[in-house]
Structure 1
Amino acid sequence: MSKDFDGLREELPGTAAPNDPARTVVVASDTALRSPSHFQRLSIATAALEVSRRELPNLIADTIYNFEGKIVWPNGTTYDLPDVDDAFGGEGSFRWVSDFIRFAEVPPRQHPQRRVIERLRLIDLYFRIAYPERARLIAE
């Protein structure tokens, strides 16, 4: 991992304080997730977490399934949480996560494929719940 990301790791706050049942989190749209800049910022933030590729889906699942607030689409309808393992391909090694994190240092040359949008949405949702300030920076 590049030394450029050491400062990012130091700035990451702890997981959000107790869930506020009144809090509403809006998931990212497909358009936002397919943006190369959003994709790379999401990769940079994920790399800064310093969790293993196999632990990342567990971290995401624990965070989103234990969130007591409301999760909605940009139009306000309820977002039905998918199975995290299924969204990540259910292949067990989660090599895609390692490939995704590499984009933290090398910008993507094309838009993310549609088949990985739900994975990206779950990673993005994790940041929106656990690190709302970081999520705002990712979405800029």
Structure 2
Amino acid sequence: MTNCLICKHGLADYVDLANDNELPKVSPIRIPPKDILRRQSSLNRLAMAYRAKEIPRRKILDFVSEHVTVFHGTFLFNGHVVILDDVDDLFDLDASERWLSDFLRFAVHPPRQQAQDRVAVRLALLWAALAVHNPTQAELVIR
């Protein structure tokens, strides 16, 4: 195994040295359990992350859909592979997307209780898109 001169780690741990024609291997994104996503602190930080991006509420679904479908890896939830292909059906919102406005409001006014179980899928999708866009920020949301 060839060691990196800078960090002294084995290069074979990070890249496939024998064949450079393959796409780089992308590690799977592990979606946190719904109990973690539903916590008041996680909901507040997730809303702050999206509010900081200054995306209008009607464009948030486009952002989520774009990042989830562009990701070439897999999403894992409780050890099982999850396919996130139809964001609109999973969100199941009305045409005004009022829920997203209420969600973004949690960045300014933290929630008083944890999120309901019925919105856990929406929170998981929002978190997954954030994890694709900025993995470090996504980890800070659930800390």
TM-score between the two structures when normalised by the length of structure 2: 0.79
User: Aligned AA for 1:92?
Assistant: A
The equivalent position to 1:133 in structure 2, one of 117, 120, 136, is 136
* Range that drifts further, 119-128 or 80-89: 80-89
Q: How does 1:1-140 map to 2 (within 5 A)?
A: 20-73=24-77, 75-81=78-84, 83-140=86-143
Q: Deviation string for 1:28-56 (max 9, x for gaps)?
A: 21111111101100011011111111110
Once the 2 structures are TM-superposed, how far is the Cα of residue 107 of structure 1 from its aligned partner? 1.2
Percentage identity across paired residues of the two chains: 35
Once the 2 structures are TM-superposed, how far is the Cα of residue 117 of structure 1 from its aligned partner? 0.8
Structure with higher RCO (Cα < 8 A, 6+ apart): 1
Where structure 2 has 5 or more consecutive residues not aligned to the other structure, the ranges are 1-22
Once the 2 structures are TM-superposed, how far is the Cα of residue 82 of structure 1 from its aligned partner? 5.2
Where structure 1 has 5 or more consecutive residues not aligned to the other structure, the ranges are 1-18
Residues 77/98 of structure 1: CA separation in 2 closer, same or farther (3 Å cut): same
In terms of Rg, which structure is larger?
A: 2
How far apart, CA to CA, are the structure 2 residues paired with 1:38 and 1:69?
A: 24
Q: After TM superposition, where is structure 1 displaced by more than 3 Å over at least 4 residues in a row?
A: none
**8 Å contact from structure 2 (residues 93, 99) kept in 1:** no
The equivalent of 1:13 in structure 2 is none
Once the 2 structures are TM-superposed, how far is the Cα of residue 76 of structure 1 from its aligned partner? 2.2
How far apart, CA to CA, are the structure 2 residues paired with 1:20 and 1:39?
A: 33
**8 Å contact from structure 2 (residues 42, 141) kept in 1:** yes
Once the 2 structures are TM-superposed, how far is the Cα of residue 20 of structure 1 from its aligned partner? 4.8
For residue 75 of structure 2, give the secondary structure of its aligned residue in structure 1.
Answer: strand
For residue 57 of structure 2, give the secondary structure of its aligned residue in structure 1.
Answer: coil
Q: How many residues are matched?
A: 121
TM-score between the two structures when normalised by the length of structure 1: 0.80
